Amino acid sequence: MDSPTVRRAFTKVRHYYRTSYTPDWIALLLLLLSNIIFLRHDPFYRQFSLSDLRISHPFAIHERVPVSALLWYGAFTPLATVTIISLLYPTQARRASSPLGSPGGTKGVSKYHKLHLSLLSVVTSVVITTVLTDLVKNAVGRPRPDLLDRCKPDLDRLQEGIHILDSIVGKGKLVGVEICTQTNKHLLQEGWRSFPSGHSSLSFAGLGWLSLWLGGQLGAGRRGSGLVGVVVCALPWVGALSIAISRTADYRHDVWDVTAGSVMGFIIAYYSYRRFFPPLTAPGCHEPYLTRMSDDLELEIYDGRGKFQRLEGPLGETGPAPEGSGSGSGRGRGEEWDGRGEFGVDLGRREGDLELGIGR
């Protein structure tokens, strides 16, 4: 197999990897599978004191926001919202500042492309947040505020020959999980998964992301935007905050747990949103990027003689002519100065067959 054939195949594979979203979906699936395996392991059982009032709260049998409701609010609601709006909202054309439609300047984005990237973005936020939260929970092993009620400690095993009252109000002796008599293993394990709050992180990963997405669709971050749009965008964020606060009311977490979880979830939500959408202050913030690459254009041209020429930088870049530039001279092969302050790619003059790989 000759070298040009290998290079052409390599270029096509690399171009597919850099422009396709299949690797993103595969990575998310692998993260979910690894998280399922990881949760089968016990958390770190940190020692505690029977006289610690911070972990002496009662165990709430009925939660204000159970796990089923959390999945509904944090995952299903954003997915359903973006699906309905993306399919019903008409596509708007934007002024093209680049022949290939760089971010912020395209000729219009298909509503199905917009729906695909919106779903991929929110799923990325929820999955990464879930995996990272569970990882930190198991590693830290912080006792919940209701640990003693979960644990049901066997006071007779604390110290032989010492009165039970002395064991409780004594000098705060540290004990471990071995003193617990709880037979429900899952309930006991969850007693050491307090930091950070999973409800808080997941709610902000989903509903916090939805606030960002609605802000882009309504242009709430642009100058002169109406207050009504800002309030609408803030509603999911307020819902996420309410879920986080409910965890302190149920004595599942303290304020530090829910704060850390909320900040973690919203940071990941912002990262996931910005991977596929421009800033909220951009003129075209309501539409996603056409491809998942950067704004810069990269061209690889095969000249038919076993060599590749790479051109990098956005098309239509303006600036003064380089020294010695003129007709037929530019920054690289195939790129010519047009005499009007712009560079353009000239593919008209070529020898042999040209193969053009375009990616952003």
Catalytic (active site) residue 253: yes
Which 8-state DSSP code applies to residue 44? P
Beta-bridged to residue 342, according to DSSP, are: 318
Distance between CA atoms of residues 136 and 124, nearest Å: 18
Closest CA to 285 of 97, 119, 124, 109: 109
Q: Considering 15, 163, 199, 286, which one is annotated as catalytic?
A: 199
> Radius of gyration over alpha carbons of the chain, in Å?
28
Residue 120: C-alpha distances to residues 46, 211, 265 (Å): 37, 16, 16
Q: Considering 62, 113, 186, 253, which one is annotated as catalytic?
A: 253
Asked whether 48 and 143 are in contact (CB, 8 A), the reply is yes
Cβ burial, residue 270 (10 Å; 0-12/13-18/19+): middle
Distance between CA atoms of residues 201 and 257, nearest Å: 10
Largest Cα–Cα distance of the chain, in whole Å?
99
Residues annotated as catalytic (active site), given as ranges: 199, 253
